[in-house]
Amino acid sequence: MRQFRYSPALLPETPSLNAGDVFILLLIVSMLYAGQRLAFNAPQEILGPEISLSPLALPWYALLSVRRMAAAYILSIIFSLFYGYAAARNRSARSVLMPLLDVLQSVPILSFLPMVLLSLTAVMPERRAAELAAVLLIFTSQAWNITFSFYQSMTTIPLELREAAAIFRFDPWTRFTTMELPFAGIGLLWNSMMSWSGGWFFLMAAEIFHVGSRDFRLPGLGSYLQTAANQADAGAVCMGMGTLVCLIVFLDQCVWRPLTAWADKFKVEMQERDEPPSSWVFDMLSRSWLLEQFGQRVWAPLGEWLHRACRRCLAGTIQPPEPAPERVAFSFPVYGLLLAMVVLALYGSYRASLVLLTLPGASWFLLAKGLVATFCRVALSLCLALLWTIPVGVAIGTNRRLANFLQPVVQVVAAVPATALFPVLLLGFLRVPGGLNIAAIALMLMGTQWYLLFNIIAGASAIPQDLWNTTKLLRLSTVDRWRILILPALFPYIVTGAITASGGAWNASIVAEYVEFGGTTHATIGVGALIAQATASGNYPLLLASTLVLIMTVVFINRTFWLRLYRLAEERFRME
C-alpha cells in the first residue's frame, strides 16, 4: 500500500545565501545597469497606435492578445521542461539553477520592463520592441509556477517508479517520456491553466505601458480594456469584459477541459475513480475518423521518428535513483567564460553602486519603510488566500460533480484581470479609513490566490483513489483524514503554490500601491509604490534601488523559508 514516507531525520539544514547567490545578484545588478544605460539612447518621444473602442475591433484585438499569450506559453513550457529537468536530475546544476530561479521569479517585471522596453527601442523598431517586451512580460507571469511545479514533481517521484526504471534500464529519453513527464502531467496541466490566467492579469500592463513621456501601445484586448477604463466608457468596458469571458469559456471547453480528461490517465493509482473527468469535445474528437487517420498516417510516424531520434541523441544508462553529487570538469574556455562573467558582474555592480550613491538618505529611509509595509501586505494576503483555497481546492479536486460546475467558473474568475476591476473597488474602499491599504491587499489577493488554488486542485486530484478508499475502510474521522492523508499529500503543492503566490504578490504591489484613475493618482506607502513613482517620473536611481531591494528581499525569504519547506516536502512527504 502507498504511504507518505516520513524521514526519521530532523528537518533539513536551513538553506542560506552563498557565494553563488551573491554572484547571481551581481549579474542582475549589472543587467539592470546595462538596461539603464541603453535606455538613454531610446527615442525621447514614442506614441503607439490609436486604440479603437469600436465593437468591430474586438475579435481582431482578441486574436492578437491570444497570439501573444500563446507565444509566451510555448516559451514557458519549453523553458520549464529543460530548466526543471536539469535542476532535478543534476545536483551540481541544481546548486546554480535553483538560486537563479529564486532570483528570476522575484524580479518585479513591471519595474524591469521600462529598462527592457527602452533598451530594445534603442536597437530595433519601436513596434517590434513593444511586441517582444509584451511577450517577455507575459512569459515571466507564466513560466515560474510551471517550472516550480515540474521541479517539485521530478523530486517527489515515488521510489518504486524510479527503481522500476532502473531495473528496466530505461535510457534518459524513455525515462522522461514514460515516467517523469506523465507523473508531472497533472501538475503541469493545472499550473498551465494558472499561467494562462496569470497572463490575462498582466495583459493590460503588457499592451499599454508609459515610461515618462513615452507611450508604448499594442492593439489587443488588454489595451482595449485599459483605454476604455481611462476614458470611463462603461459600455466599452462591458463589451471588452464580455469578449474576455466568452474567450475564457471557449478555451475552457475546447482546450483545458479536454486536456483534463486526457491527463487523468497519468494518475498513479490502482483503482479508477467512479466519476473520471469528462469532456464533450474530447469525446467528439476521440470518435473523429479524420483525426484517427491523421494520427495513424502522420502523428504516429512523426512521433516514432522523433522518439528514435531523441533516444539516439540521449543514449546512455540510467542514473541510480539517488545519484551521488557529481563533480563537473571545467575546461579552459569555460573558465575563461566564467572569468569574463565575473569581471562584467563586478564592473556593472561598481557602476550601479555609483548610481545608487546619488540617492539621498531620505529616499533610503522611505524605501526601508515601504519595504516593511509591503511585506505586511504580502503576508496578510497570503494568509487570507490559504484560508479559503485549501478547503475549496480539495473540494474541487476530489468531487467530480462539483468540479464540472466550479472549474469553468474558477477559470473565468481567475482570468478576469484584477487590474480592470481595481478602479471600481478603489472607489468603494477610499470612503473608509485605511481604504487604500485594504484595496492594495485586495488586489494582491485577487492576483495571487489562484496560484495556490490551482496547485491545491492539482494535488487533490493526484491523490490515488485507493488511499481514499482505505481511509473509508478504516473509518477515519474527518479530522484524521485531513491530518493523515490530505494535508501531507497537499504539502508539496501548497509550498509550490505559496512560493509563486508570494512572488506574484510582491509583483502585484507595483500596481496595487500606486493607481491612476480618472486623472487622479492614489498612492500608499510601499516599495511597489516607489517603483511605480520612479517609473512614471523617470527617476532611474530610485527605480534601480527599489528594484534591487525588492529582489534581495524576496530571494532572502525564498532561501531561508520557502526552500526549507521545499526540502521538507521532498524528504518527508513523498508518496511511496
Could you tell me the sign of the dihedral formed by the alpha carbons of 543, 544, 547, 549, in that order?
negative
pLDDT tens-digit map of 238-278: 888 888 888 888 888 888 888 888 877 777 665 555 566 67
What average pLDDT does the segment 124-147 reach? 79
With 50 as the cut, is the pLDDT of residue 458 above it?
yes
With 70 as the cut, is the pLDDT of residue 24 above it?
no
pLDDT tens-digit map of 59-101: 898 898 888 889 999 999 999 898 888 888 877 777 777 777 7
In 169-328, at which residue ranges do the beta strands (DSSP E only) sit? 208-211, 214-217
| 153-157, 323-327, 401-405: the lowest-pLDDT one | 323-327
Phi, psi of 25 (to 5 degrees): -65, -40
**Cβ atoms 211, 120 nearer than 8 A:** no
Give the percent of the chain with pLDDT over 70: 72
pLDDT tens-digit map of 273-293: 556 667 777 777 777 777 777
Alpha-carbon distance of 451 to 141, in angstroms, equals: 11
Q: Which of 35, 221, 29, 226 has the alpha carbon at shortest distance from 121?
A: 35
Domain ranges of the chain: 47-268+332-575, 278-315
pLDDT tens-digit map of 187-243: 888 788 878 877 777 777 777 766 555 666 788 888 888 778 777 677 888 888 888
**What is the pTM (predicted TM-score) of this model?**
0.69
Residue with cell 517603483: 531
With 70 as the cut, is the pLDDT of residue 122 above it?
no
**Cβ atoms 118, 214 nearer than 8 A:** yes
What average pLDDT does the segment 114-131 reach? 68
Domain 47-268+332-575 has CATH 1.10.1040.10: no
**Cβ atoms 382, 498 nearer than 8 A:** yes
Q: What contacts 460, CB < 8 A, 6 or more positions away? A: 393, 394, 396, 397, 398, 486, 489, 490
Alpha-carbon distance of 246 to 193, in angstroms, equals: 16
Alpha-carbon distance of 159 to 265, in angstroms, equals: 20
For residue 129 the three cell numbers come to: 520592441
For residue 314 the three cell numbers come to: 540521449
Q: What contacts 323, CB < 8 A, 6 or more positions away? A: 89, 90, 91
Q: Which of 375, 389, 370 has the alpha carbon at shortest distance from 498?
A: 389
For residue 345 the three cell numbers come to: 558582474
DSSP annotation string for 384-452: HHHHHHHHHHHHHHH-HHHHHHHHHHHHHHHHS-HHHHHHHHHHHHTTSTTHHHHHHHHHHHHHHHHHH
What average pLDDT does the segment 511-533 reach? 76
- pLDDT tier at 568 (50, 70, 90 boundaries)? confident
Q: Which ranges in 462-486 belong to alpha helices (H)?
A: 465-473, 478-481
- pLDDT tier at 317 (50, 70, 90 boundaries)? very low
For residue 189, the one-letter residue type is L
What average pLDDT does the segment 374-398 reach? 89
According to DSSP, the β-strands at 520-523 and 514-517 are antiparallel
- pLDDT tier at 2 (50, 70, 90 boundaries)? very low
Q: What contacts 291, CB < 8 A, 6 or more positions away? A: 285
Q: If you average pLDDT over every residue of the chain, what do you get? A: 75
With 50 as the cut, is the pLDDT of residue 7 above it?
no
- pLDDT tier at 21 (50, 70, 90 boundaries)? low
- pLDDT tier at 12 (50, 70, 90 boundaries)? very low
Q: Which of 150, 505, 251, 530 has the alpha carbon at shortest distance from 365?
A: 530
Alpha-carbon distance of 9 to 94, in angstroms, equals: 22
For residue 315, the one-letter residue type is A
Residue 303: other Cβ atoms inside 10 A: 12
Alpha-carbon distance of 515 to 529, in angstroms, equals: 9
- pLDDT tier at 53 (50, 70, 90 boundaries)? confident
Residue with cell 473597488: 425
Position 77 scores a pLDDT of 92
